[in-house]
Chains A and B, each alone.
Chain A
Amino acid sequence: MDRETRRRLEHYRRDTAGDVENTLIDEFLDGEMDRSDFLRRGSVFGLSLTTLGAVLAAAGEVPVAFARSTAAKVGGRLRVGCIPPPAHGLDPHTYADTGSLVTGNIAGEMLNRTTDTGKLVPELAVSWKSNPQATVWTFNLRQGVKFQNGQEMTADDVVATFKRLVDPNSGSQALSAYKGVISPAGVQKVDAHTVAFHLDAPTGGFPYLTSSTTYQAIILPANYQLGTFEKTPQCTGAFKLVSYTPGVGATYERFDGWWGGKAPLDGVDLKYFSDDAAVVSALLGNQIDLINEVHVSTGRALFNNPNVQVISAKGATHRLVPMLTDAPPFNDWRVRQAVALTLDRVAIRQRLFSGFASLGNDTPFAPVFASSVALPQRHKDIAKAKQLMAAAGKSSGFSTQLTTYKAFELPALAQIIQSSVKAIGIKMGLRILTSTAYYAGSQLGPPKGWGTTPWLNTPINITDWGGRAIPNVYLTSSLETKGVWNASHYSNKKFDKVAKSYIAAISLKDQRKYAKLCELILQHDTPAIYPYFYYQLGGVSKKVKGYHADPQGQVYLSHVSLA
């Protein structure tokens, strides 16, 4: 590192960086984290690329490489196949399905964006910074950003958007990320281009929650009228939504006033599909150029096709197999562990995903999270499972019923679990519902109980969980005692305390310390089985350039071009 760079770094550490940034730099220089973790966490705390480069140089690493942007061919329309279609209207705060998030996010933008490698990059915010306790996060907004209706974006728009997102009475689906983290009163304007988030609880990874991983967090004008998203272009993205037909498709045109310059594509034609075979054949038949989501079981024809490229992004998308911890037969941890030990996870991964998945270890800490600590992998061990069943007084087994719904590979996984637990005497019936029936019924949430909905009230079930950039939502919603989606009805005060400490921790060292404690508790108690975390796969024609798979299944097209 040359003298000038060293001087600038020291100046930054002394005059600009706070405790949080200095701890992060120290952790890296002390070897607590590797280069990619440092870059990822540096992006969380808003360190500039110059600072990141200087720290890397100080550690003797090669500085951040800037990929030379190749000149993209301008023009042409991209034909995107989206499966499935949006289930409801398009107000962003209500997004709860892939079709909606793809449709909205082609036009919309967030404060920041999580890349396929887990790094945060600025979007409508140029920088962000927290106080030392991680209870107040301040975001500086990009200036000169125009909405597609001509209005200029200011802090008022961001405040109005986030107040709606965190309001428990707005019907916001983003509450899965924000409940218990921030309330409407905590979203405050500082000046015309600065917004402060005063959190209900310290959250070290808060910038992830404002990013594209919370796909509802599209910034809209303060005067946005509900129900008008598809009627008037009013986002800030590179493409504006000009027509939308429910269940059929949507059309986008390039937005010439985009703050990022001129997008290479003239426009995008989005077609909805409700059948995997149809969308796969459309790509093979050259009627579309890109598929947002490919499933291994139905998309095998794409893998060896010379005209198609299957791209993947590792993520935390998973299937959860919760077991009711407050009612027989799964109210004994030994029984739950025994069930988990019957699964041959390597074989399951191969059979269902042809290897495109990471093994689960019965905690939500996916390998992709920087804070995850790799505990010994849980493997199939029938002898140990039988011992546990005997110790629980259930050596002769019992009968139970597994509930899930007909989508993706869920029925196949249900059958695998059914046949696996036979080895320890469990006679498992299967109840495969429609998605509507599975999520039907009331779900009041604690302390009133979990209502009547099957997915929160059946002895054992399988539910699909979307990917997140940090595990906070999994911990708070599905595992903490008062979690709204706690399908195991799991309650462990020690775990609650450790999970809170994890979420509040700022340094990676602390996060890993608490993550390990969480993982140990969860592996022992096994309130739920996490069999695998599968990769997000997308299919693209080879003429499509610059497209990356997104761990959450979004389709980000601002820099995509056609050869």
Chain B
Amino acid sequence: MKKALLLTTLLTLPASAVLADSYTVDPDHTYVSFAINHLGFSTMRGKFNQQSGSLEYDFAAKVAMVTIEIDAASIDTGHTKRDQHLNSPDFLNVAENPTISFKSTKAGWNGNKLDSVTGDLTILGVSKPVTLKINSMHCGEHPFSKKQVCGFDAEASIKRSDFGVNYGLPALGEVLDLQIELEATKN
């Protein structure tokens, strides 16, 4: 009975999850930022100050799965009243939707190089597929902690109206350029 249960469990797990190394996102060295056109005059930038997540990564097996959860209320554009407005029902509605999340579903490889990660981005409770373009990635031993660390720089562009963030359109830009710089420490 126990053997049957163990076999069933192993068979239902994706083989990649069994083989890949697990990493926990280092919130002190992970940055999620964005840029948006402001009324046609200039580009407004902002970031989120609190995020967490995990990374499953195995270069040899070509496995890369990433989950990021962002505290929507931690948005920071350098202006308190603007941040309060962004938290309101006009934009992120953080009281009802406190978390923005990205959960990958597949990884794109270009030879031996991780090229992209596609997954579901959820904002305001609406999930849409988004592909993060990986600009650089490196895994290795941290020189101080001696722990195995993986990190990447990624970017994507989304249309906020796809997620129901419609206020201020078309005057306030529709396209949001996302940048994610992530570091994760092996468990």
- Our verdict on whether A and B bind, yes or no, reads no
Binding site for A on B (CB under 8 A): none
